Every structure is written in C-alpha cells, then in structure tokens.
Amino acid sequence: MVVAQNIQASWIVNSYDLIFNPGEGGEVSETSRKVTFGKAYENSYNETNNTTSVKDLPTPTREGCIFLGWYTSKEGGDAVNRYTIMSEEGTEIYAHWLETWTVKTTITKLNAEYNDRNDKGTPENPYLISNAEELAFFAKQLQNKIGDYYKYSYKQTSVIDLSRDSGNKQVDYVWQAIGFSSTTAFCGTYDGQGFAILNLKTTDITNASTGLLRDYQGLFGYTTNATLKNINIINGKVYGENFVGAVAGFMNGGSISNCRNGAEVEGKENCGLVGSANCVKVTTCYNYGTINGTKYVGGVVGYAQSGGEKAFTHIENCYSKCVVTATSDAGGITGYASSYTKISACGFNGDVTASSNKASLVGQSENEAVITNCFAIITGTSDMNWKNGNGTVTNSISKLSNDTNKKYTGSDFSNWSVLDTTSTQPLPAGFSWLGTGGRKLTENDINKLGYSIKVD
C-alpha cells in the first residue's frame, strides 16, 4: 500500500549587493551592503546571522565638493534614497558632486604681513587675504584640517569679489563655508578691515537623496571662540538648512564686531547675520539683507543662547534695517533669546512676518533675558510687541513708520538723546549707527516727542 505524503516548497528570497561608488577623489565609509530583493535600500542584510538592520545611505566625502545625492548613473540618471526598492543583483549607485571655490582655487600658500619672520599667523603677523582664491585656500585648509590654519589670524587687504577669479574672469563658483562643522571649526581671528566681500553665494541645491540643504552655511560655517571683525558683505545669497548666517552660521563663544551684511539669507531654523550665537559678544553689527527662515529667525542673530550669569550672549549697538520672515519665533534683532541673554542699545527699522511669536525686537524670550534701551521703527501696517515670552524690556520705544502707535516702556531715558532740535527720533546712548551726541532726554521729553502710550 502506497501512503501519499504532502511536501511543501521552501523559498528564500535572494539578497543582492548594493554598491556605493563615490567617484574619482571621493571616499565612502560603506562601499556596499546586502539588500533583500523587494526591500528598500535602508534594509541592510547580514548573511552571517541572518538579521536586517535599518540605516540611512552613507554620506561620501570629496575634497572641495558638496555631495548632491546618490544616482543611478555616473552622469544624469535618477536620484535614489533609502526608500528605493532593490530590484537586481549588483546594483551600483553613484555619488554626484558640486565643485566649490575650494576646488577651483590655484593658490598654494598665503603670505604673512612680514614673511621674513617666524611668527606667521599670529595677531602680530597675520596671514593676508586679498582675493577670492586666497580666501578659498583659507577655507580649504580648514576643510582638510591642515596644520594650525584653524587657529591663525588673518587680515583682508582688499575688496574680494567671489564672482571673479584671480585673473578677473567672471566665474560661477559656489562658496563652501570656512569651517563647516564642529570638527573643522575656525578658532582664530579674521579682520576684514572693512573691505567689501561681493557676491557671496552658497548652493541652493538640495541633497537629492535626503531632500535637505546643508547646515552651518555662511562666509564662516562653524566657529569656536573665534574673533570676527570688520567684515563687510555687500551682496549675495546664503542658502542652508539650519544654522544659516551671512557672516557665520554658528558661533560657539568668541566675539563678532563691526560687521555688516547686505546678502539675503534663506534657511530653516537659526537664521540671521549670525545664525546662532552661544555665549558670544555681538557688538556694532549692521544687517540690511533680507532674512528668511521657518523658526528662530532674527535680523542680527537667529538664536541667542546663554549659559548663565557669567557666560552669556550680549547683543549691543546693533542695527537691523530689513524684512524678517518666518513661521514662528522671529524678531528684528533676534528670533530667540535664552535666559541671561542681554540686548542693549539696538535698533530695528523694518518689518517682521510670522504666524506666531513675532516681535519688533525679540521673537521669543526666556526668564532673565533682558532687553534695554532699544528702539523699533515698524514699516508694516500693524503694531507688534517688543518681545514675546518671559524676558523683560526696559527703557525702550517703538512706533510705526507712519509715526503712529508711538509707545514706550520704562522711565529712565537719561541716556537717550535726539541729534538736533528738529529730530523726532530718540536714540539710546551707545547706539552709533545713526549718529551720536545730541540733546539729552527725560521721560517727559519722550512724551513730547509723541511717545504717549506707556506700556508697563
């Protein structure tokens, strides 16, 4: 008698190699991974222990280049990302790159003020920067972590046009920030001596594999205890994701003084002349470039962070004459001021647009944040507060540009003045952008100048 038996087929789904090709000059930490057929590229299969882990595609690096994403061909092709489905054995994807000024520069060394001395790069004998290629060489040394370039002193000696090479030929190279991460941070001194920087432009192309722009964008990307002074950016367009500032994306400690910006800034969080300042002394800076973002957006500093009573960010004698646009936490001086942040003798002349937490001076503030002796001239049609949140405002004024809604807070205006008897714009002592001196004022004088609405 024959007994019938049921047997069942058992199938194992193949796992295929996904190969990452970074291209000539590029490097990538993960050269390939196994991915099961029909699964997304993010599912990395381990044949040894029969397990799958979920992880993003690797980010390759290439000197002087910005990674634009992974594609199906060396040139052209379709963009792929972690969610692309594995469909065939031996799939190879290719890194696409955008070359920047740091690749294009032909400079191989910088001259110091006194080349015959051994103290090159010190404050007494700084390296000299006179054109775009020398500035790009400086950025390149930090990118590649060469020697002590990250902590040297530099002095700009002429106008720099980032749309022209050393032969004065018109070029279209994008700028890669000086120190674009915490590991390549600039820690030295840069003195622009007031010389103009023209046509500063970072890339507005997103990473095709992540859909993101880049963090830490600006002339400088990331600084640690650096001194930035007398920098004069005339025009341009600075794009980024987070920590986007015309002069600096993120400053951790240090100081910035007597810097100006006319370039447009566009990012998401932490955007301004300085994107984010952590325990930084910000003095005598002027922004007239439009600032656009989503959150923590300010005319001078996007996000002002302080560490306590002895370690804090102080924004003083700064002037913002621009339009600030965000979704939330937007202010004419700063989008956000943490506890212990100090803002004094500052002025804003422009408009702020946001769905929530918009203010003429500080979009959102925490306890112990102090705003004192500041003024705002609002060019829009609707009035707004000096600040939102729990910070305090003292001895400050604001009005609409049509000379209505003139209000003030505080009672001690002894340090304020008007420049002459015909002027109707009071200015605080220590604010120098519209002139200094003039007739000293009292609270009664403030009232006589039309600031009749007192806000306690």
Contact (CB, 8 A) for 85 and 40: yes
**What pLDDT score does 302 carry?**
98
Beta strands 295-298 and 453-454 are unpaired
The lowest-confidence range among 79-93, 95-109, 417-431 is 417-431
Residue 211, Cβ neighbours under 10 Å: how many?
Answer: 10
Residue 12 has pLDDT above 90, yes or no: no
- pLDDT number for residue 11: 52
pLDDT digits (tens, 9 = 90+) for 243-297: 999 999 999 999 999 999 999 999 999 999 999 999 999 999 999 999 999 999 9
- pTM for the whole structure: 0.91
Q: Is the pLDDT of residue 9 over 60?
A: no
How far apart are alpha carbons 309 and 138 in whole angstroms?
36
Determine the pLDDT at residue 450: 93
**φ and ψ at residue 352, rounded to 5 degrees:** -125, 130
Q: Check pLDDT > 60 for residue 10.
A: no
pLDDT at 456: 84
Express each pLDDT in 15-71 by its tens digit. Answer: 899 999 999 999 999 999 999 999 999 999 998 888 899 999 999 999 889 999 999
Q: Which residues of 156-177 are buried (b: 16+ CB within 10 A; e: fewer)?
A: bbeebbbbbbeeeeeeebbbbb
pLDDT, tens digit, for every residue of 304-330? 999 999 999 999 999 999 999 999 999
Q: How confident is the model at residue 82 (pLDDT cuts 50, 70, 90)?
A: very high
Give the three-state DSSP class for 60. Answer: coil
Task: Give the pLDDT confidence score for residue 48 in this predicted structure.
Answer: 85
Please tell me the predicted confidence (pLDDT) of residue 235: 98
In this prediction, residue 8 carries a pLDDT of 65
Q: What contacts 160, CB < 8 A, 6 or more positions away?
A: 129, 130, 131, 132, 135, 195, 196, 197, 198
Split at pLDDT 50, 70, 90, the class of 209 is: confident
Count of beta carbons in the 10 Å neighbourhood of residue 438: 16
The H or E element that residue 297 is part of is strand 295-298
The C-alpha atoms of residue 322 and residue 106 are separated, in whole angstroms, by: 37
- Chain centroid to Cα 239, Å, comes to 9
3-state secondary structure of 384: coil
